Amino acid sequence: MGQVDTYQVRPHQVRNKSYQQIYQKLSGTRKKTLKMISKHEPCSVQDITKLYNIDTCRVSGRFKELTQRGLIIPVGIKTNYDTGHGNTFYRVTTEEEGIDIRNKTFVELRNKKDKLINDLNLKLSDLTKYAVEKEIIKINRMINTILCN
């Protein structure tokens, strides 16, 4: 038998490769925010706003979007000594964690959509039907966002 060369892959190498693939698909401020989080993880919205002198309102929405897409996850809460409030700290997910989060979210959204479609088939008022149809459209957009990762 010939000798087989082995190469040990470290978890951070897998995470970094996955991060690069995901990073290329993002646009604009999401990409910038994910890069900042990756550089300073674990970090909070407040950490990023202080480090980069950015308004909280420009960053907090990106954290929420990246969390919903399964690209970052909360890892703990620490007290902000400036405000006395708790701040959630986040880190970039591994590829496996991201896939699990997106799959779980997809199933939840699909089930919610199916229930709304069943409700739509009932004898509802025009106003209620309109509201249900708008919610179905909203869920479809969220599903498409998850599938585009």
Query: How much of the chain exceeds pLDDT 90, in percent?
Result: 38
Residues 102-141 as b/e (b if ≥16 CB within 10 A, e otherwise) read beebeeebeeebeebeeeeeeeeeeeeeeebeeebeebee
DSSP state of 53: T
Q: Please give the residue that has the higher pLDDT: either 10 or 124.
A: 124
- Report the alpha-carbon distance of residue 58 to residue 33 in Å, rounded: 10
Torsion of CA 17, 97, 116, 63, to 10 degrees: -70
What is the per-residue pLDDT for 2? 44
Q: What is the mean pLDDT of the chain?
A: 83
* Predicted pLDDT of residue 19: 55
Of the candidates 39, 34, 29, 15, the residue with the CA atom closest to the CA atom of residue 98: 15
CB 71 within 8 A of CB 92: yes
Residues of the chain by 3-state class (helix, strand, coil), percent to 5: 65, 10, 25
- Predicted pLDDT of residue 18: 55
Token digits for 37? 């989080």
Q: pLDDT digits over 60-108, tens only?
A: 999 999 998 889 999 999 888 788 889 999 999 988 888 888 889 889 9
pLDDT at 149 over 80: no
CB 35 within 8 A of CB 23: yes
